[in-house]
Every structure is written in structure tokens, then in C-alpha cells.
Amino acid sequence: MTSESTRVDSLLDPIEDERLIADLPGIVKRTGVGKDFIEKPMGNWCDEEEIKWVTNLRVMLDEGSKTGLRYVGGIDRVLDRMSAIGGACIRNYIEARIVPLEDLGEYDHEDVSVLLVPDFYTGGLSRWKRSKVFSILVARHAAKQATVIYISNEEALKDEYGVAVWQHLNDTMNVLRGKL
């Protein structure tokens, strides 16, 4: 996290980003991404690896093999990190939304280029919801849409969600590991 980036009031240009600025309250409400995360540099919350992931996002989605990012283990301030990713996407006119896992099954994610799920696995999800979540993950990957998730414990996820889900996550997402 860079100290230089903390001095920036807003990355939004009053002329170039006029429409974005005018609709900022609506964008914040619709996306779940706070105003500061849209206006300020990712470096305030994220490390170089995350910034690189966002910088290469369009290329990764075009290639289609690794369309997601998963945070695993003891990641500090995962919601802030995901919000910063969402903010960077919004600044670049990429539709991004933060959606809690509980709402994911009923959420219309079809037009969302980057879906951020800060509580993807923190333990216990009913069997029918696991099937729905797996279906969403597969559909998003096939549509070349990015999904960013947080997993508190990979081994527990593998036991609870099963090998098929685990294999899909492993095959389609880059990983950033925290302390165990």
C-alpha cells in the first residue's frame, strides 16, 4: 500500500468523468462499493498483486482460463480490498458489484462483469444453496465474467462443497493467500 496514493483526493476527473460523478450516489447504492473506494487509488487498500490482477482483468477475461480471484485464509480487511477492486473497475466503466453469499442465489448477476463475494466461504451453507452457487460460478466462468471470493478455510470448503466445486475454483481462479 503506497503512501503517495493516500494524498489523492479523487482520481475522478471533473470533465472526463462528469457522468460518473453525477451518478455517484446511485452507483454506490446499486453496487455496494463505497464512494471512497471509487474515488481513491487501490493502493490505499490493496497490494501490488491485486492491482496487477485488476490491470490485467480485460486480458484475462478475453483469454477465459482464469476469470476469478480467490482470497484464502487470514486476509486483513477483505471487504475493503474487494471494495477497492470494485472501485477501480467502476472508474474504468466495468460493472462491478459486492454481493453477500446469502443474496447470491436470488441476485441477477448476468450483466455484472465483476462480482465480489466477501463471505463466499466462512462456514455452513445449506446443500441446495451450494448447488445454486456452483451453477452461478460455472455460468460466470463460461460467460467470461470475473468473480472474486473470500474463503476462510480451503480444506473445510473442500469437505463441505465437494471436489467438483473445489476443482472449479482451483482451475478458474488466481489465488492470494493470507496467514493460516
Q: What is the CATH number of the domain that holds 24?
A: 3.40.50.300
Q: In the predicted model, what is the mean pLDDT of the chain?
A: 88
Q: Is residue 4 situated within a structural domain?
A: no
Q: What residues pair up with 149 in beta bridges, in sequence order?
A: 70, 117
pLDDT at residue 5, as a whole number: 44
- pTM for the full model? 0.89
Taking 50 as the pLDDT cut, the residues of the chain under it are 2-7, 180
Number of domains in the chain: 1
pLDDT at residue 2, as a whole number: 45
Q: Is residue 6 situated within a structural domain?
A: no
Q: Is residue 5 situated within a structural domain?
A: no
- Give the C-alpha separation, 178 to 18, whole Å: 38
pLDDT at residue 1, as a whole number: 52
Q: Is residue 2 situated within a structural domain?
A: no
Q: Is residue 142 situated within a structural domain?
A: yes
The 3 state secondary structure assigned to the chain is CCCHHHHCCCCCCCCCCHHHHHCHHHHHHHHCCCHHHHHCCHHHCCCHHHHHHHHCHHHHHHHCCCCEEEEECECCCHHHHHHHHHHHHHHCCCCEEECCHHHHCCCCCCCCCEEEEEEEECCCCCHHHHHHHHHHHHHHHHCCCEEEEEECCHHHHHHHHCHHHHHHHHHHEEEEECEC
